[in-house]
Amino acid sequence: MKDKPEISDAEYQVMKVIWSAGVPISTNEVVERLEEYTAWKPKTIHTLLSRLVKKSALQYEKDGRVFVYTPLVKESEILSLENDNFLSRFYNGALNSMVVNLLEHDKLSDDDIAMLKRILDEKLSEYSNFNPECGIEITMASESDSIANDKNRHSQLNAL
């Protein structure tokens, strides 16, 4: 699927039920699972399923008298789209601005920071040239970008 559908919070809740099933799931099963933790009426859930089909997030097949739903998008695709939308809306698309904001407002625990540092170290080690003592230089097969003189980025990485 080329374009990922934008879905509402309520539609996302429905999709989570369908993704968690791992197999095609009937309307009744979706309704039963959502009624466990929402106050939604079956009619509301049917409407949400219908919207998701129209948005090409779901497909359905009629099996006798039962409609069975299968996701057309992966959860990771929707999460990626939502992450991009969030970053664009609140941080002009800059992930580093969000991380700095979280650090400055003590929203990250020591464990969160340690995990981020491990992830960044792993990503940085994937590149051919990285020397944390003198700065960052990233060399890729198709292009070379040197950001060794960018003291601000280096200090942000060191803060992690």
On the question of pLDDT at 47 being above 90, the answer is yes
Sorted by where each starts, the structural domains of the chain and their CATH numbers stand as 9-75 (1.10.10.10), 94-159 (no CATH)
Q: Where is 49: in which H helix or E strand?
A: helix 42-54
pTM here?
0.67
- Residue carrying structure tokens 């292009």: 143
| Closest of 136, 160, 131 to residue 150, by C-alpha | 136
pLDDT digits (tens, 9 = 90+) for 93-128: 888 888 888 888 888 888 988 998 899 888 888 875
- Residue carrying structure tokens 């491990």: 118
